[in-house]
């Protein structure tokens, strides 16, 4: 019987377009930056930023320092970085409202302070929601606050042990096959979700039934 649902954030609940952000960053800096071929230095700072190992200021200063365009401002960089966030489909918020009544929901996300600030701003502006994390979830795990990021096995173990989850009662959704494989390695029943696709209770329960039948 399904009791616990662990949800990825971007691509599952919040619509994403990675290419838009990296294209904007490339245009802004004059550097060869793309989602499919990130420069090693950019991959390094974005990973460290997501783990809370560097500050927002350090993330921005590094991009400014590498940039061929010496006139870019911190605001320019923040706006480019936020281009990957396409916004909220109201149906996803309705899904959370409904699912929260039936299941214990947990949020597990590789993210950073810039993106979470945008999320909170848009939820308040567009939907009047001020307490997103507390309203919908039993517990939230943001990578930049816990010092770990997917697909590190420790982050999955943290969610399991922190909440004493029984695997046969749990389902994890993520749009990254790499993250799904890592979760499966930790024994979590997982489904690779089609990025930005619709999600409702029936679809969630269909995912769970399909997994249970395979066990």
The CATH number linked to 193 is 3.40.50.1000
pLDDT the model gives residue 83: 97
Mean residue pLDDT of the chain comes to 95
Where does a domain end: 28, 53, 84? 84
Of 84, 114, 140, the residue that ends a domain is 84
- 93 and 58 inside one domain: no
Answer with the one of 34, 60, 84 that is the final residue of a domain: 84
- The pTM assigned to this predicted structure is 0.94
Q: How many residues does the chain have?
A: 215
Q: Is the pLDDT of residue 70 over 90?
A: no
Rg (CA), the chain: 18
Shared-domain flag, residues 159 and 120:
yes
Q: Give yes or no: residues 46 and 29 share one domain.
A: yes
Is 215's pLDDT higher than 90?
A: no
Confidence grade of residue 34 (pLDDT, cut at 50, 70, 90): confident
Helix (H, G, I), strand (E, B) or coil at 119: helix
Q: Do residues 50 and 124 share a domain?
A: no
Q: Provide the residue range defining the domain that includes 76.
A: 18-84
Alpha carbon 98 to its chain's center? 21
Residue 36 pLDDT:
85
Same domain, 70 and 96: no
Domain CATH for 80? 1.10.150.240
Same domain, 135 and 58: no
Of 70, 31, 11, nearest in space to 191 by CA: 11
Q: Are residues 117 and 203 in the same domain?
A: yes
Side-chain-side CA neighbours of residue 141 (13 Å): 23
Q: Say whether both 97 and 171 belong to one domain.
A: yes
- The verdict on 99 and 79 lying in the same domain is no
pLDDT tens-digit series, residues 114-140: 999 999 999 999 999 999 999 999 999
Statement to judge: residues 119 and 159 lie in one domain: yes
- Residues 195, 108, single domain; the answer is yes
Give all strands (DSSP E) within the chain, no chain letters. Answer: 4-7, 15-16, 85-87, 104-109, 139-142, 170-174, 190-192
């Amino acid at each position: 019987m399904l009791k616990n649902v662990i949800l990825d954030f971007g691509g599952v609940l919040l619509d994403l377009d990675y290419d838009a952000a990296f294209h904007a960053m490339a245009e802004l800096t004059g550097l060869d930056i793309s989602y499919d071929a990130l420069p090693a230095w950019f991959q390094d700072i974005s990973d460290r930023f997501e783990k809370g190992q560097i500050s927002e200021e350090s993330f921005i200063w590094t991009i400014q320092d590498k940039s061929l365009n010496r006139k870019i401002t911190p605001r320019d960089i923040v706006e480019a970085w936020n281009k990957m966030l396409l916004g909220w489909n109201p149906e996803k918020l309705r899904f959370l409202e409904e699912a929260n009544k039936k299941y214990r929901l947990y949020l597990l996300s590789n993210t950073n302070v810039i993106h979470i600030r945008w999320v909170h701003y848009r939820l308040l502006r567009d939907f009047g929601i001020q307490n997103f994390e507390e309203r919908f979830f039993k517990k939230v795990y943001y990578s930049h606050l816990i010092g770990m990021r997917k697909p590190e096995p420790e982050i999955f173990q943290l969610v399991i042990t922190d909440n004493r989850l029984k695997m046969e009662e749990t389902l994890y959704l993520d749009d990254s096959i790499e993250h799904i494989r890592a979760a499966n390695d930790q024994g979590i029943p997982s489904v690779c979700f089609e990025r930005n696709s619709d999600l409702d209770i029936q679809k969630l329960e269909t995912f769970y039934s399909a997994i249970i039948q395979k066990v």
